[in-house]
């Protein structure tokens, strides 16, 4: 049974929106609880809330792409670039900084969504892009 072509956009949209809320929703409380570091500097709070905004904006775009066919290809390509880029950054961090146990599962999910998006884009829009 083939998975619906929109499922990768739906799942990654919900996951990334949730991650954004965790990063920026209330960083002074959530970051010490989730990742064991204090967020006291105004600039760090600002940066984490900016990341939240990026994640929420992209996640919403992916959800729109899942429900509006005319945005599906753009949302899927955007998702591939995001998941590939964030995976690349995590791989670089792993090589230079060491293995992060909490973020290894995130890396695996990001690689999964990267590959899944490539697969969907290639197979669902063969005539348009590939």
Q: Assess contact for 83 and 114: CB atoms under 8 A.
A: yes
11 inside domain? yes
Residue 31 lies in a domain: no
The answer as to whether 113 is a domain residue is yes
Measured over the CA atoms of residue 15, residue 51, residue 93 and residue 101, the dihedral's sign is negative
pTM above 0.85, yes or no: yes
Q: Answer yes or no: is 88 within a domain.
A: yes
Give the integer Cα–Cα distance in Å for 59 and 9: 8
17-55 tens-digit pLDDT: 999 998 888 888 888 887 788 888 899 999 999 999 999
Q: Provide the domain limits for residue 107.
A: 7-24+52-124
Is there a domain that residue 29 lies in?
no
> Per the domain annotation, does 33 fall within a domain?
no
State how many domains the chain has.
1
Model pLDDT for residues 45-102, shown as the tens digit of each residue: 999 999 999 999 999 999 999 999 999 999 999 999 999 999 999 999 999 999 998 8
């Amino acid at each position: 049974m083939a998975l619906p072509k929109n499922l990768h956009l739906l799942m990654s949209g919900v996951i990334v929106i949730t991650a954004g809320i965790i990063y920026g929703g209330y960083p002074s409380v959530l970051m010490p609880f989730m990742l064991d570091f204090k967020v006291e500097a105004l600039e760090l709070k600002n940066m984490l809330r900016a990341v939240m905004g990026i994640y929420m904006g992209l996640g919403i775009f992916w959800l729109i792409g899942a429900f509006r066919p005319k945005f599906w290809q753009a949302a899927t390509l955007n998702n591939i670039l995001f998941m590939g880029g964030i995976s690349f950054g995590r791989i670089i961090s792993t090589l230079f900084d060491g293995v992060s146990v909490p973020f290894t599962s995130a890396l695996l999910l990001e690689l999964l969504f990267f590959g899944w998006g490539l697969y969907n884009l290639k197979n669902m829009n063969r005539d348009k892009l590939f």
